[in-house]
Amino acid sequence: MPTKKANPTTKKAATKTTKVKKTVEKPTLEDFLVEIQKRAYDVYVERTNKGLSGDELSDWLTAEKEVKEKYNIK
């Protein structure tokens, strides 16, 4: 039984994806600190709900790192 050959004129759909970085406007210092404070509280709640050890400083540093990454601040 003969096998069917692929049609060489058939074009494949483009599957290339590109990463697009969203430009996020950097907050004012006050807004930046408020956002860290809110995130630090969320980190605290998540940590205590899971029964994990930690302290306020580690919660703050985790939140600060996350917010800095969000705004691409080094």
- How many other β-carbons are positioned within 10 Å of the β-carbon of residue 68? 13
Q: What is the pLDDT along the chain (74 residues), one digit of tens a residue?
A: 566 666 656 555 555 666 666 677 999 999 999 999 999 999 999 999 999 999 999 999 999 999 999 999 99
64, 36 in Cβ contact below 8 A?
yes
* CA–CA separation, 62 and 40 (whole Å): 7
Contacts of 71 (CB under 8 A, 6+ apart): 24, 26, 27, 32
Per the listing, tokens 């759909």 go with 13
pTM score above 0.85: no
